Homo-oligomer: A and B are copies of this chain.
């Protein structure tokens, strides 16, 4: 491949933690030059946020994971001299990302209206928690809290449970991903109009969009989705959709005709349920399956189900997955060298012209590119 899509594009990242930095990471993977603008002395609070006490250098492994392939420039946004340098930098950049609460950038004279004067071609992209209006606008934009107020915690786990959150930061990742879409759209628009744009995404709107099938159904029938009480897979889907225990482990069954399933696994009791009741009687049907599937191993059932062309798979943990040739065929891992240590992490999931997008540059030390960037500004300005 001759060139990455975003070669030559300069992105300023005023962001902390996950949503903003993950958006900028994707832009870097696609070829952009990403400069983190960080507070002097401390920087992105994510630098000191360690999971399981795993550190690479002064910075946590977590920070390195999200901020590889970026540069770092420190500036005190309360200091007029620093602001004037930042404005010079903005004048030379293509994209600005921030995930601060609504009024923070404005207080420092870095709101869209102001910086648009400096650079009318700038794509100014922001992630908020709950949008910029309404009673929640100043609430903490934190992933679990957004899952909790958007109904999402009632999609997962069985109906006999209380609300169950997703075990990964879904709002951060989706909002970051949609911000990237908006930024790329803005760049395409600019190539035609010559004009920059303001791109806005919020964690809340991202989680509502994520539930679009479920919300549209709810708007139509005014009935709240109910989780199956047994082996819930998705609140709107019929039996057998879900994960079941077997004699030795677990098995996942997707959508399938319950009578074909009955024949395939020799479960006469299943035949008593009319096919058209696979949603209405899903708890009863699944209860029969729970009992029946425990009588044989996962391998036994899989052989029969896959032979019949039914959609079923084993359920793997990370040890089992990473040992499997199906995982290794993807070559999803990449290696980064940072501070004398080796970090193994995942690569960008997008391939272009058959090429896997990897980027093995380590995350920057705080202010690592201060001098370089100051020189560039002198040279260019």
Q: Which residues of A pack against B, CB within 8 Å?
A: 1-6, 26, 30, 51-52, 54, 61-62, 65-66, 130-131, 133-137, 139-140, 142-145, 147-157, 161-170, 173-175, 177-182, 184-189, 191-193, 195, 197-202, 204-206, 208-221, 223-225, 227, 232-237, 241-243, 245, 250, 252-255, 279, 311-319, 321, 324-326, 328-330, 332-333, 343-346, 348-354
Contacts and interface: CB of A to CB of B under 8 A. Distances in A.
A157 B162 CA distance: 11
B220 A329 contact: no
B354 A206 contact: no
A348 B324 CA distance: 38
In order of increasing CB-CB distance, the 10 nearest A-B pairs are: A134-B329, A155-B167, A5-B185, A184-B184, A148-B252, A136-B326, A205-B349, A156-B167, A219-B344, A5-B189
A62 B241 CA distance: 18
Nearest to A65: B216
A164 B30 CA distance: 33
Given A148-B316, A191-B191, A243-B163, A54 B220 contact: yes
A233 B165 contact: yes
B330 A205 contact: yes
B149 A349 contact: no
Contacts of A65: 212-213, 216
B185 A6 contact: yes
A59 to B, nearest CB: 13
Nearest to A236: B51
Nearest to A182: B350
A169 B232 CA distance: 13
B192 A181 contact: no
A318 B165 contact: no
Contact of A5 (B1, B188, B221, B344): B188
Contacts of A189: 3-5, 352
A346 B165 CA distance: 22
A323 B79 CA distance: 44
Given A162-B250, A178-B349, 17 more contacts: A54-B217, A61-B216, A65-B216, A135-B329, A142-B254, A144-B234, A162-B243, A162-B245, A163-B315, A167-B235, A177-B177, A184-B184, A189-B352, A205-B349, A208-B332, A215-B345, A225-B318
B135 A30 contact: no
A271 to B, nearest CB: 23
Nearest to A141: B311
A168 B52 contact: no
Contacts of A164: 156-157, 164, 243
A196 to B, nearest CB: 9
Contacts of A241: 144
A181 B182 contact: no
A253 B182 CA distance: 31
Nearest to A130: B326
B26 A181 contact: yes
A165 B242 CA distance: 8
Contacts of A191: 188, 191
